[in-house]
Amino acid sequence: MAYVVERKPLSLSERLYIPQVLAGMKTTLKHFFAPNVTMEYPEQRPAIPPGYRGVPTLVKDPHGREKCVSCQLCEFVCPPKAIRITPGEIPADAANAHVEKGPKAFDIDMLRCIYCGLCQEVCPEEAIWLQNQYSMSGYTREEMVNNKERLYELGGTLPDQHFKWDKKKAAEQRGNAHH
Amino acid sequence: MSSVPAKPADLVTVNIDGKDIAVPKGTNVIEAAKLLGIEIPHYCYHPKLSVVGNCRMCLIEMGLPAVDPATKAPIMDPASGKQKVNWMPRAQIGCATNAMPGLHIRTNSPMVKECREGVTEFLLINHPLDCPICDQAGECKLQEHSTAYGRGYSRFVENKNVKPKRTQLGPRVTLDDERCILCSRCIRFSKEVAKDDVLGFIDRGSYSTLTCYPGKKLENNYSLNTVDICPVGALTSTDFRFKMRVWFLKETPSIDTESSVGANTVVWSREGVIYRITPRQNDAVNDTWMTDSGRLLYKQVRSEDRLLVAAINGGTSAYDMAMKAASDLLRASLSAGASGEVRIVGSGRSSVEEQFLTKKLAAALKAPVALVSRVGKGDGILLSADRNPNVRGALVTGLISALPSQQLTSLAADIDAGKVKTVVAINEDLAAADLTAAQLAKVSVIYLGTHKNATSAAAKVVLPTLTVFEKSGTFVNQQFRLQKFTKAVPGPEGLADDLVTLANLAASAGAGALPSDLTGLWSTLAAEAPVLAGLSYAKLPATGAVLDSAAWAGLPFVEGETLHFKPAAVPAAANA
């Protein structure tokens, strides 16, 4: 529904402009007398506030298992279509066969990524996280596409609250008393 | 069942959530509610299968108008002035309740809501919520109904049942036992539609398991329909498993080309790649089923032996050059004076429009046309004996007037007699139709086709064409039903549409400028083919249109009986 924003008329002090000009001068003058600080980037790096949305990365759980099950929800939700997943089946003889599915390929095109964080938001496995890394550079377009290995290298390991797949494996090994 | 046509006299009025609707007597309550736009959630009920009522999701409240037991006089409610309704004290299942006069149904009462929450909670006791992995995500009734009708949380604290995850029920179907909700749709389908009773439940309670009878496998040609009708992710297609999420896929209506049944299909593709084919409902042709073999046809699009570039004398060439070479060959045959030096081998696999242009080409060249008949064994369900999807199209367009035979005997004789210089073969392997390599070497072959074969290897000019998934058009199936298919994916780079190729060839043979688009072609077709008058590709309904087949009633078609088709005459053994 259309929402009409009412435009209020300017007050007297606003119409005079002088208080606003003075406030601006105050800010300028403050910088005149403040000590000069130059951060020697990239040797020095600014402190990143918690919750910062940097480069999207893939993470493993503390047991070293890759968490992504290639459900493709991040690919679906990604507004600039930066994510491309090729799903694949985990072979029945693999150690993590109980997970059944994992990404065969996982690419994030950082030339497209807008750091919106929807992929992290939507991930049912908490496998994709936007972390502190914010500076991506490369000489070619290909270099700017993070493949699966690079994404895991960037992401590393994060603490896990659930260990969902460990629980599943334990249940499987415990089996069913009647069978 | 609702598919039985009812006379207006059989209509009964039922009241669903306070709204009256007149439906044929005996209509399933779920179907009647659907007509009012009311959804009664269900898992085990399927309109094309028998009713068993074992999922209990479709519970409703039901009541009948009250009558005095002694006098049979209606008992009136003094408050509303209407007849009183005797509501049954407990919920009933909707799928086994049929419409009867005065039936009252409540689908949104507190009792019904509580029933649905309870059923959902029970179903989710042992069903793993592995939606990120399950291939049914996006098409899962359990997911949808749990959100819409579920409690939203589980009170189950005991250990969940652990059942086998990757049971192969057959060569094409994988069962995940944990996800099975024992609705028995697959069992009933195998028994009732596929007529191959291989599935059943064993064990009781929470150990109940779907399995095949000992020594049997779910390997009939209809096994993948069980995957389509599985309301949860228990049965999955081994081919499509873990390949792509359905919500990425584009749905294109198409027609199964493996036989003259012309089953209606949906082609699912993403970015020009086809991932799967599923049936599309057409109650007059294939209900909601199709063959497994028809689902594999998409693999021909990217197969190794696909013809991707034009060729002249075995060397690859640009499409335009090959077109020119083909035109030169045809013109040379024409200018030689003697008519009948060109023979055309058309195809029962070409669309109606292509066959029409082939006819125009043949007329311009004064060339006789032959078709090759392809006969297999019909299975009586959705695979007919005639393995060409469009022989009747060739009859309708006038490309041929008699049924084709399996060998090109007269063509072979004419080649041996030296009467033929050029043969135009349209998507038909002449070597497979009993022409020898020596015979092929004696003539100049212009081959239009999708895949490499002995004919394309021997051809002077090869013009690659598109598969059914890469073009639009129509087929005429065994019921003389004109059905359309639509382009699902773009064709390989550099290839022209078949209609353009044929129109160009016909133009170079002196047929004048012919339309090479469906709209233009249909205005000509409707004018020239009497039975197609008034039809057009754009206006053809999704379920097709039945043509007047009186002109061909006496022909000995090879088809036997299939799901919705009874042959008019006893089929010829094989018209070889």
Nearest of B231, B189, B211, B228 to residue B50 by alpha carbon = B189
A101 touches chain B (CB under 8 A): yes
**Per-residue pLDDT in tens (0 to 9) along chain B, 576 residues:** 445 554 566 899 999 999 999 999 989 999 999 999 999 999 999 999 999 999 999 999 999 999 988 888 888 888 888 889 999 999 999 999 999 999 999 999 999 999 999 999 999 988 888 899 999 999 999 999 999 999 888 888 888 888 888 899 999 999 999 999 999 999 999 999 999 999 999 998 888 999 999 999 999 999 999 999 999 999 999 999 999 999 999 999 999 999 999 999 999 999 999 999 999 999 999 999 999 999 999 999 999 999 999 999 999 999 999 999 999 999 888 876 656 689 999 999 999 999 999 999 999 998 999 999 999 999 999 999 999 999 999 999 999 999 999 889 889 999 999 889 899 999 999 999 889 999 999 999 999 999 999 999 999 999 999 999 999 999 999 999 999 999 999 999 999 999 999 999 999 988 888 999 999 999 999 999 999 999 999 999 999 999 999 999 889 999 889 999 998 765 554 443
Please name the residues in contact with B346: beta carbons below 8 A apart, sequence gap of 6 or more.
B355, B358, B362, B369, B370, B371, B394, B399, B400, B426, B428
B247 touches chain A (CB under 8 A): yes
B244 touches chain A (CB under 8 A): yes
Contacts B128 to A, Cβ<8 Å:
168
Q: What is the pLDDT of residue B159?
A: 82
Nearest of A153, A147, A164, A134 to residue A60 by alpha carbon = A153
Instruction: Give the pLDDT confidence of A49-95 residue by residue, as tens digits.
Output: 988 999 999 999 999 899 999 999 999 999 999 999 999 999 989 98
Q: What is the pLDDT of residue B4?
A: 52
Distance CA A70, CA B179 (A): 19
Q: What is the pLDDT of residue B333?
A: 83
A143 touches chain B (CB under 8 A): no
Q: Do A88 and B245 touch (CB under 8 A)?
A: no
Other CB atoms within 10 Å distance of the CB of residue B546:
13
How far does the CA of residue B292 sit from the closest CA of chain A (Å)?
22
The DSSP string of B428-484 is --TTTTT--HHHHHHSEEEEEESB--HHHHH-SEEEE---GGGS-EEEE-TT-EEEE
pTM of the model: 0.90
Out of A70, A124, A176, the one facing B161 most closely (by C-beta) is A176
Distance CA B457, CA B453 (A): 6
Choose the mutation target among B162, B165, B247 for the interface with A, i.e. most A CBs under 10 Å.
B162
Q: What is the pLDDT of residue B575?
A: 45
Facing residues of B310 across strands? B317
Contacts A70 to B, Cβ<8 Å:
242
Instruction: Give the pLDDT confidence of A15-55 residue by residue, as tens digits.
Output: 999 999 999 999 999 999 999 888 998 899 889 998 899 99
Confidence of residue A153 (pLDDT cuts 50, 70, 90): very high
Out of A87, A92, A171, the one facing B162 most closely (by C-beta) is A171
Out of B165, B244, B247, the one facing A100 most closely (by C-beta) is B165
A100 touches chain B (CB under 8 A): yes
B243 touches chain A (CB under 8 A): yes
Contact at 8 Å (CB) between B344 and B362? yes
Q: Do A176 and B243 touch (CB under 8 A)?
A: no
Q: Do A73 and B133 touch (CB under 8 A)?
A: no
Q: What is the pLDDT of residue A23?
A: 95
Q: What is the pLDDT of residue A86?
A: 96
Out of A76, A88, A125, the one facing B242 most closely (by C-beta) is A88
Out of B132, B162, B244, the one facing A175 most closely (by C-beta) is B162
Helix (H, G, I), strand (E, B) or coil at B553: coil
A64 touches chain B (CB under 8 A): no
Tracing tokens 């390997």 back to the chain, one arrives at B219
Distance CA B210, CA B202 (A): 7
Q: What is the pLDDT of residue B511?
A: 87
Quick one: A18 exposed, middle or buried, by C-beta within 10 A (0-12, 13-18, 19+)? exposed
B241 touches chain A (CB under 8 A): yes
B159 touches chain A (CB under 8 A): yes
